[in-house]
Amino acid sequence: MGDETPSVEATGIPPSPTEPGSRLVTSGFFDQFPRFYDSSETATHPGRLNLRHQAMIGDNLDIFEGARVLDIASHDGRWSFAALQAGAASVVGVEGRPELVDAANKTFADYGADPERYRFVAGDLFHSLAEEPGQFDVVLCLGFLYHTLRYNELFARIRQFNPKHLIIDTQVAKGQHSVIRLRVENSALQSNSIADDFSHDGRVLTGRPTVNGLTMMANAYGFDLERYSDWAGLLRDNTESANHYAAYSSGARVTARFKSVT
C-alpha cells in the first residue's frame, strides 16, 4: 500500500506521521453492531466501514464525550450511532431519504439505544437544517459535501449552530489551487445526491473541491483546519481488501477535522 500513497505535492496533505503498526485496527467497531452491514446499499464492506470509523470517530474521541452532535446526511444512522457509542450526549440526524431514516430508527431500537438521546429528521436537508432548533457541539458532514454544489448555504447552516468542531469526510479534486470540479449525478441511485429545488430531470449538479478549496470554504465560515485523519497510516497497516479504499489511497478522498475560531 505504501507505493500507492500520493505525494504531498499532489494532495496538499502531509505524509503519515505514525510508525508502522501503530494504525493497526484489530477490533472492528461495526463487527459489534453488524446490522449496519445490511441496512444500506452504500459502502457496507466491513473492512471499509471499520477503517472509516477509526478515521472519523476513533481518531476524534476527545470531542465526542458529552457532546451534542448533528449528523448531516445521516444515511442509515451508522455514524450517529457511533457518535453515541463514543460518548455523545445526544445526536440529531438529518437525512433526505425516508427509507434510510426508517432503517436508522429500527436499528437504533434493535440495539436498545435510549430514544431520549437521538432523533432523526426525514426531509430536504437544507430545509431541515434551516428549521432545526437545536444547538450542537460537533457537526458531522460525512460523505455529503461532494453530493452538492450549495456550499455557501451548507456552511452558513452549519455556522448557525455555532459548533466547536466540524468533521468532514469528502471526495476531493486533485490540484493545488482553490477550485471545484463539477459533476452531474443521477439522483435515482441511493449512493448519489438527492434531487432538490435546483435539480432538473433527476440530475443534480455537484462539486468536488480541492483540499485547498475545502480549507478556504471552511475558513470563510470561521473554521480552521486542525488535522487530516492519518489515512496513509491506516492503509499502510491494514492492507486487506485494498480495493475498497481506492479513493483514500489515491488522495481522492480525505477526512478533515476543523475547529471553530469564531
Looking at residue 190, what is its pLDDT?
A: 79
Other Cβ atoms within 10 Å of 215 Cβ, number: 18
The single residue listed with the C-alpha cell 452531474 is: 184
Looking at residue 89, what is its pLDDT?
A: 98
Nearest CA to 259 out of 230, 225, 227, 228 is that of 225
The CATH fold assigned to 2-260 is: Rossmann fold (3.40.50)
How is the chain split into domains, by residue range? 2-260
- At 206 the three-state DSSP class reads strand
Looking at residue 2, what is its pLDDT?
A: 39
Looking at residue 106, what is its pLDDT?
A: 97
Looking at residue 9, what is its pLDDT?
A: 55
Looking at residue 8, what is its pLDDT?
A: 58
Looking at residue 67, what is its pLDDT?
A: 98
In one-letter notation, the amino acid at residue 88 is A
Name residues of the chain where pLDDT drops below 50: 1-5
Looking at residue 223, what is its pLDDT?
A: 98
Looking at residue 134, what is its pLDDT?
A: 84
The gap between the terminal CA atoms of the chain, to the nearest Å, is: 39
Cα gap 179→93, rounded to integer Å: 29
30-86 tens-digit pLDDT: 999 999 999 988 877 899 899 999 999 999 999 999 999 999 999 999 999 999 999
Which letter, b or e, does each residue of 50-80 get, where b requires 16 or more Cβ atoms within 10 Å of its Cβ?
bbbbbbbbbbbeebbeebbbbbbbbbbbbbb
- At 200 the three-state DSSP class reads strand
Looking at residue 4, what is its pLDDT?
A: 46
